[in-house]
Structure 1
C-alpha cells in the first residue's frame, strides 16, 4: 500500500471505521452525557471552534470535562481546578473524544491527522499550519501518540494561562509539527491503520498497566524507538519507509524495569506502505 494517498480511500477508511464505532459507542456516549448532566450539572457536550483549513473553521465536539469556557489553550496546571472528577476519568480513557466520531462522519475531521488548531494558533503560526493542514485534522496522529502524555506532564507545572501558552509554543508545538508535516507527506491507508492500532495500545497500556510500565517506545526487528528520546523523530521516519514493524515493546522506567521486557506481537504486512 505504499504511496496510496488518494483522499477517497482515506475517506472510505474513515467511514468504515467511524460508523461502526459510533454505533457501538453510542450507549457509552449517552451514559457519559447523562452522568455529566446529573453529577456536574452542565451541558454534557462542548463545541470547540477549530480550524479545518487555514481559513475554514468548524465545531469540534467533545464531552464536557471542565467548567468554564474554552480559551483555546492546552490544558495545563492553570486549569486543574476547573476539571471535574468525572472529567478526569473521561480524559484518562480518552472517552471525551468519542463525539468527534460524528465530526468524522460529516467530513469535518478524519480518524488520523494533525490535531485541529485554534484560530489563534493558525493566525500566530501560519507558516507551520499551512503545511500540516494539508491533511484533514484528525482524532489521533503521530504527534498525539508521542506527545500527549509528555504534554500533560510538561504543562502540568504551568500555573498561569500565559505560562501554559509560552511552554506549549516553546517545548511542544514545534516538535508535534515536525511529526505532523512528516505524516502529511507520507500518509496512506496503511499508515492510518498503524497509527490507529498504536493509539489503542498506548491508551490501554498506560491505563491498565500504569503501575508497572509506561509505553515509551516502539520496537521493531532492528531495535527500540524510545518515544522519550528527542532523536526519535528520525527513527519514526525510518520505521515508515524501511522494514515492517513486528513488535511493540513495553519499555519500563529504570526503577521499575524487571529482568525481561514484555513484548506483544503486532503482526506483519505493513512493509508496502
Structure 2
C-alpha cells in the first residue's frame, strides 16, 4: 500500500528538465504533462544545469509540491591551513569560536519557549485538528532551527576561507548520553540539533576546500590553554573560566574554542605525517 501523498521517484526517462523556461515535463499514469513551471533561486538553477545527476523525487509538504533533484558537485582540493578556528557548541551559546565570535542562543531560546507554551495550549484541546496543527508547528520549528544552523555554518566557513584557516569542532557523538544537565534544560539538550550544525559546517567546508577536523572533546572547558592545568574548579560557573594555577580568566566557551583550536593543530600534524618507510 502506498500513501496518496508519498514521494514519487522519476528518472530521466519519465521526467525532463527545461532550464531556460524553468519548466519540467512529467510522465504520469494519464499521460505526459508538459510545461509545468518550477521556482528556484538563480544559484540553484545554475547548479541544476551544471551538476544534476540521476533521479528526482516529487514530494508533497504542507499542501505544496517540491521536486527534489540530486546534484553532484566536485569538491575542490583542500588547501594547507595557515591556522585553525576552534568552534565550541553549546546550548546558551550555539557556537563560540576561538576568535571570540559568539553566536548566542538567547533569541532562539525565547522563540522555543514561546513555541512550547503554544504547543501545550494546543495539545490540551486533544482534537484531531489540534494534532494536525501540532505537527505543522513542529515542522516550522525544525525549519527555523535548520535556518539558524545554516547561517552559523555559512559565517564560520566564510571566515575560515577568507583567512585561509581550517575549522575544528568537538567530536560530539553520544553527547546526550555523556552530558548531564538540570531538569529544566533537558528538553533543550534533547531538542537542539547539535549534530546538524556540525554536518552543515563540514559539508560547507568541503565545498569551499577548507580543512575540517573533529577533535577529542574531553576537558576542553576545564583545561587552561596557557599552562595546561586541568581542573573542574577552573570553571566556577557555566559562563566563566578562571585558572587556579596561572590566573588566566575569560568566557568559558571562548576558552573551550581555543582548546579545540590547539588540539586541531596537533591532530593535523599527525594526520599529515608521512607513513614510515619499511626497513
Measured against the shorter chain, the TM-score band is: under 0.3
Greater CA radius of gyration, 1 or 2? 2
Q: Taking structure 1 as the reference length, what is the TM-score of the superposition?
A: 0.25
User: Which structure has the highest strand share of the two?
Assistant: 2
Please, what TM-score do these two structures have when normalized by structure 2? 0.25
